[in-house]
Amino acid sequence: MSNQWTPFPHDDEQPSGRSQGESPQQPQQSYGQDDTQAISTSSTGSTGWSASNGPGPSAGHTATYAPLPPPAAETPRRTGRTLSAAVLAGALVLGGAAGVGGAAAYDALNGNGSVSSSNGPDISASNRNASASNTGGSAEAVASKVLPSVVQINVTGSGESGSGSGIVLSKDGLILTNNHVASVAGDNGSMRVDFDGGTSAPAKLVGADPVTDLAVIKASGVDDAVPAEIGKSSGLKVGENVVAIGSPYGLGATVTSGIVSALNRAVSVQSSESDGGQSQQQDPFGLGEQLQQQSQQQDQTTTYPAIQTDAAINPGNSGGPLVNLAGQVVGINSSIRTSGSGSSGSIGLGFAIPMDEVLPIVNQLKNGETATHAQLGVSVRDNQSSSRPGALVATTTSGGAAADAGIEKGDVITKVDDVEVSGSDSLVATIRGHRPGDEVKIQLYRDGKEQTVTAKLGSDGGGSDS
C-alpha cells in the first residue's frame, strides 16, 4: 500500500485539459534506489507514505496527497482560479495557489520580481498566555481579532492566474504565504494583495523556500497593515478548538472552525509525479519549456510534522492562518486530503505547517538570507518488519550527524526524542521540526537490541551539498 502527498490544484482550475482527474500519482523515486529516501541536507520527503503515519486507505488502495490547489470551479468564475497545486484523485492538496509545479517555478521568483529584504526586527511568537479567555473563547471573537490580519493574494503568471491567502506580519506590509501560492507569478508575473478593509496593493517577493513551502512577500506603499499575533504551536493539544481563515475558491474572509485532530502527522507533498522512474512534472501554470528545463533540479518534496484539523480547508486557503482561541496564529494552512474522483473539497482532513517550524524560516527569508534546514545525514526507507515499524537506515553520510552519533547502515530508528517514528516519512517530518544545531535523542534497534544515541543535527547550508 502506497500513499503520496502532492500539491493542491487552483480553485478555478478546470478539470478538462488538466491532469487532476487522472489516476493517483505513483510514488516518486527521488532518493536512492527502490523505496529508499534520503534525509540529507534538507531532510526532504520519502518515496512513499506509511499508512501508520496517518489516515490511510484500505489495503490495496493507493492514495495521493497534494498541496491545496485553487478550488476546481465547476461553474465560470469572474475572477479566475484560486491558486494551488493540481488536485489528483484521493489527493492531499495544498490549500492555496500554485500546487503542482510550484517548486519548479522557484528560480523565476528570484528575478526582477523580487524586492530587497526587510531590516526590521525578527518576527517572534507572543509570550502571552494562549488562553481562550483572551478572546472570549469563541470563533466569533477570534474572527473579529484575526480577520484584519488575513489577506487574499491574487497572482498572475504566464498564462495563469489565481488567488491564495496570506498573513500580515508587519505594519509596512510584510506578508507570509505558501511558496506554491507566490511561485505562480514567476519572473514576469504579478501579485496583488487585497486587505480586509477593502484596500489593495501590488506586492513583490521578498524570499521563498520550496523545501518548507513558505514565502514572504511585501505589499507596496503600506504603512497601516494589522500584524497578526503569532503563537506557539508547541502548546497545542489534540482536541483543542481552532479556527481557519482564508479565501477558499476566492471567497475572501471565510472563517471555519474545528479541532486539532492530530499533531506531528507526517505529511509529504510532492511537486511532481513519477511514472516508471521518470519524472513527469505537471505544468498547471503554462511555464512550458522553462518548466521542463527546471524540472529536474526543481522537483521538490515538502515534508513536515503537520497539525491535522477538521476545520474546513479548501483550495484557496493556502497560506492562511490556523488560529487558536486566543487569536494567535499557530499554523499555516497548506494541504488537505480529498475523497478522490476529481474532487478537491474538504472532507475534514486538513493540514497546517506548525508555526514553530515556520518562524525561523520566515526570519531568514525576510532578512534576505537563504533558508537552512536540519540535516541528519542518512538515507532511509520504511522498515518492512511488521513487528518493529520504523525507518531503516540504508546509508549514512560520512561526517554527518548520524554517522558522528554512531548510527549505522541497517539500524532501525523508532523514536526521536519523545516522537515515535513509524517510517521514513515520519523520520523526515520529525527532523524537519528541528533546527540545525539541535541535539536529539534517537532510539534505534541494531541486531534486535535497543540503543539510544544523541545526535547534533547538521545544516544543509541553504541547500548546498554537504
User: Given a cut of 50, is residue 301 above it in pLDDT?
Assistant: yes
Q: Are strands 37-39 and 378-382 parallel, antiparallel or unpaired?
A: antiparallel
Tens of pLDDT, residue by residue over 349-375, are 999 999 999 999 999 999 999 999 999
User: Given a cut of 90, is residue 136 above it in pLDDT?
Assistant: no
Please give the pLDDT value at position 271. Answer: 53
Report the pLDDT averaged over residues 202-216: 96
Q: Which of 369, 401, 419 is the last residue of a domain?
A: 369
Q: What percent of the chain has pLDDT over 70?
A: 63
Q: Examine the domain organization and report whether 437 and 314 are in the same domain.
A: no
Is there a catalytic annotation at residue 122?
A: no
From 40, 84, 318, 335, active-site residue:
318
Look-up of cell digits 526507507: 381
Please give the pLDDT value at position 359. Answer: 96
Please give the pLDDT value at position 12. Answer: 44
45 burial (CB, 10 Å; 0-12 / 13-18 / 19+) is buried
430 in helix, strand or coil? Answer: helix
Report the pLDDT averaged over residues 248-263: 96
Report the pLDDT averaged over residues 215-243: 97
* CA gap 145, 135 in Å, rounded: 8
Report the pLDDT averaged over residues 187-208: 96
Is there a catalytic annotation at residue 434?
A: no
Report residue 384's pLDDT band, with 50, 70 and 90 as the boundaries: confident
Please give the pLDDT value at position 45. Answer: 36
Q: Examine the domain organization and report whether 302 and 423 are in the same domain.
A: no
In a domain, 33, yes or no: no
In a domain, 184, yes or no: yes
Q: Which amino acid is at 396?
A: T
Short-list 100, 86, 302, CA closest to 210: 302
Please give the pLDDT value at position 290. Answer: 35
- How many CA atoms are closer than 13 Å to the CA of 84, on its beta-carbon side? 50
User: Given a cut of 60, is residue 132 above it in pLDDT?
Assistant: no
User: Given a cut of 60, is residue 89 above it in pLDDT?
Assistant: no
CATH number of the domain enclosing 362: 2.40.10.120
Report the pLDDT averaged over residues 248-264: 96
Q: Examine the domain organization and report whether 403 and 354 are in the same domain.
A: no
Whether the Cβ atoms of residue 190 and residue 218 lie closer than 8 Å to each other: no
Short-list 282, 249, 277, CA closest to 19: 282
Buried b (16+ CB within 10 A) or exposed e, 417-446: eebebbbbbbbbbbbbbbebeeebebbbbe
Report residue 341's pLDDT band, with 50, 70 and 90 as the boundaries: low
- For the record, the C-alpha cell of 244 comes out as 481557519
Angle at 397 (CA atoms; ends 393, 403), nearest 5 degrees: 75
267 burial (CB, 10 Å; 0-12 / 13-18 / 19+) is buried
Report the pLDDT averaged over residues 184-209: 95
In a domain, 190, yes or no: yes
User: Given a cut of 70, is residue 330 above it in pLDDT?
Assistant: yes
Report the pLDDT averaged over residues 15-25: 33
Q: Examine the domain organization and report whether 256 and 357 are in the same domain.
A: yes
Report the pLDDT averaged over residues 454-460: 95
* CA gap 291, 251 in Å, rounded: 30
In a domain, 16, yes or no: yes
Q: Examine the domain organization and report whether 223 and 306 are in the same domain.
A: yes
User: What is the DSSP code string of 312-336?
Assistant: ---TT-TTPEEEETTS-EEEEEEEE
Whether the Cβ atoms of residue 222 and residue 172 lie closer than 8 Å to each other: yes
pTM: 0.71
Short-list 103, 117, 281, CA closest to 209: 103
From 11, 43, 118, 180, active-site residue:
180
Please give the pLDDT value at position 205. Answer: 97
User: Given a cut of 90, is residue 46 above it in pLDDT?
Assistant: no
Whether the Cβ atoms of residue 161 and residue 150 lie closer than 8 Å to each other: no
In a domain, 466, yes or no: no
Q: Examine the domain organization and report whether 319 and 455 are in the same domain.
A: no
* 1-5, 212-216, 236-240, 417-421, range with the lowest pLDDT: 1-5
* 117-126, 239-248, 336-345, range with the lowest pLDDT: 117-126
- For the record, the C-alpha cell of 355 comes out as 508555526
Please give the pLDDT value at position 151. Answer: 98
75 Cβ contact list (under 8 Å, min separation 6)? none
Residues pairing with 217 in the sheet: 175, 205
Domain housing 420:
374-459
* CA gap 423, 376 in Å, rounded: 15
Is there a catalytic annotation at residue 223?
A: no
Q: Which residue has the higher pLDDT, 29 or 140?
A: 140
The alpha carbons of the chain give a radius of gyration, in whole angstroms, of 20
Report the pLDDT averaged over residues 99-113: 27
136 Cβ contact list (under 8 Å, min separation 6)? none
Report residue 13's pLDDT band, with 50, 70 and 90 as the boundaries: very low
Q: Examine the domain organization and report whether 264 and 297 are in the same domain.
A: yes
Report residue 270's pLDDT band, with 50, 70 and 90 as the boundaries: low
Short-list 38, 178, 172, 190, CA closest to 112: 190
Report residue 98's pLDDT band, with 50, 70 and 90 as the boundaries: very low
In a domain, 124, yes or no: yes
Q: Which of 336, 369, 402 is the last residue of a domain?
A: 369
Q: Would you say the C-alpha torsion 93, 278, 303, 306 has a positive or negative sign?
A: positive
In a domain, 43, yes or no: no
Please give the pLDDT value at position 137. Answer: 81
* CA gap 39, 207 in Å, rounded: 24
375 in helix, strand or coil? Answer: strand
Q: Examine the domain organization and report whether 348 and 221 are in the same domain.
A: yes
Q: Which residue has the higher pLDDT, 196 or 101?
A: 196
Q: Examine the domain organization and report whether 259 and 362 are in the same domain.
A: yes
From 11, 196, 213, 356, active-site residue:
213
Tens of pLDDT, residue by residue over 422-453, are 999 999 999 999 999 999 999 999 998 999 99
Short-list 236, 257, 214, CA closest to 346: 257
Please give the pLDDT value at position 268. Answer: 86
Please give the pLDDT value at position 35. Answer: 42
Please give the pLDDT value at position 129. Answer: 63
Report the pLDDT averaged over residues 271-296: 34
Domain count, the chain: 2
Q: Examine the domain organization and report whether 300 and 383 are in the same domain.
A: no
197 burial (CB, 10 Å; 0-12 / 13-18 / 19+) is exposed
Q: Quick count: other Cβ atoms within 10 Å of Cβ 409?
A: 11
Residue 422 is classified by DSSP as: -
In a domain, 42, yes or no: no
Q: Which of 300, 335, 369 is the last residue of a domain?
A: 369
Q: Given its phi and psi angles, is residue 406 left (phi above 0), alpha (psi -120 to 50 degrees) or beta? A: left
367 Cβ contact list (under 8 Å, min separation 6)? 117, 118, 119, 122
Q: Examine the domain organization and report whether 361 and 384 are in the same domain.
A: no
Mean pLDDT for the chain overall: 74
User: Given a cut of 60, is residue 43 above it in pLDDT?
Assistant: no
Please give the pLDDT value at position 64. Answer: 36
Q: What percent of the chain has pLDDT over 90?
A: 56
Q: Examine the domain organization and report whether 336 and 419 are in the same domain.
A: no
CATH number of the domain enclosing 389: 2.30.42.10
* CA gap 168, 266 in Å, rounded: 27
